[in-house]
Amino acid sequence: MDLGIKGKRALVCASSKGLGRGCAEALAAAGVDLVLNARGAEALEKTAADLRATYGVDVTAVAADITSEEGRAQVLAAAGDVDILVTNAGGPPPGLWSDWNRADFLKALDANMLTPIALMTALLPGMIGKGWGRVVNITSQSVKAPIAQLGLSNAARTGLTGYVAGTARQVAPQGVTINNLLPGIHDTDRATALDAGVMAAEGITAEEARARRAATIPARRYGTAAEFGAACAFLCSVHAGFIVGQNILLDGGATNATI
C-alpha cells in the first residue's frame, strides 16, 4: 500500500533502537525524511547511517536526552516544522507502590507525560498551519490494564492519555490527528531487561523467562519492532485521517478485554 507520505518530514524520538527505531524504519520505507534522537551518539549515528543507506531518505541525528528541557530544545531546533511527530522515551523502573517518593513521580511524569506534551505544544502549531499533521505517542498496554509493578508508568502514561483524548479533538478540525500506540511485550532491549529481572528473582534462564512470558500471550510470542513500526506508519499515512484520539493495543491479545 502506498502510504501517501513520501517527502514528508518526521521527528521520531528515542529511536536508535527498539520500538522507536521500528517506527523510524517504517516511515523511512514510506519515503519520509527523518530527525532521529537518542542519548547515546554511537548507536544513533549507526541507525541514521543504516536508514540513509537502505531507504535513501534524508536523516538528521540529534544525540540528546529528550526528557530534559535542553535536550528537547536541541531536538526541536534541528527538527523545524515537521509533518509527523512520534513521541517516545525510556520507561520508568519497576517497583512496589511503597518504593516511590515525589521525586520519582516527577521524573516519571516528566519523561512519559510532560515530555510528549511539550513536544506536541511545540510542533502542533506548524502542523495546524499546514492543515495536515500526524502525532503518534508510544505509550503502553498498562494504560488499558495496569501492570502492578510499573506504577510510575501506569500513572504517567494515563495522564498523557487523558491529555491526548481532549487535545486530539481540538486539533482534528485542522487536519491533524493524534493517536497513541500501546505496546504489549515486544522483542527489544526493554523486554530483555524485564526478563533479566525475572531470571534473577526466580533463578531461571533467559530462555525460560521468555518462554514463560510468551506463554501468557495468546499469540504465544513477543511482538517485533517491525510490526510495531508498520502500525505507526499506517497511523501517519494519508489513509488514517479519520482515526482520531484512539488508543491502539499491539499486544498479541495479552490484554483480556472485550473492547
Distance between CA atoms of residues 60 and 33, nearest Å: 9
Q: How far is the CB of 66 from ligand NAP (least distance, A)?
A: 4
Residues of span 26-65 touching ligand NAP by CB under 6 A: 37-40, 43, 65
Start-to-end Cα distance in the chain: 28
Site membership for ligand NAP, residue 88 (CB under 6 A): yes
Instruction: With contacts defined by CB under 6 A, name the span among 83-91, 129-137, 204-212, 234-242 that binds ligand NAP.
Output: 83-91
Asked if 154 and 142 count as a contact pair (C-beta separation under 8 A), the reply is: yes
In the structure grid, which three cell numbers stand for residue 156, read together? 504517567
Residues of span 225-254 touching ligand NAP by CB under 6 A: none
Among 5, 26, 57, 66, binds ligand NAP (CB under 6 A): 66
Pairing state between β 59-63 and 247-250: unpaired
Distance between CA atoms of residues 257 and 144, nearest Å: 9
Distances (CA, A) of 52 to 9, 24, 25, 224, 251: 14, 11, 10, 22, 30
- # chain residues binding ligand NAP, by CB under 6 A: 29
Closest to ligand NAP by CB, 133 vs 183, is: 183
Closest to ligand NAP by CB, 15 vs 161, is: 15
Asked if 176 and 135 count as a contact pair (C-beta separation under 8 A), the reply is: yes
Site membership for ligand NAP, residue 188 (CB under 6 A): yes
Residues that bind ligand NAP (CB under 6 A): 14-20, 37-40, 43, 65-67, 88-91, 138, 140-141, 183, 185-186, 188-191
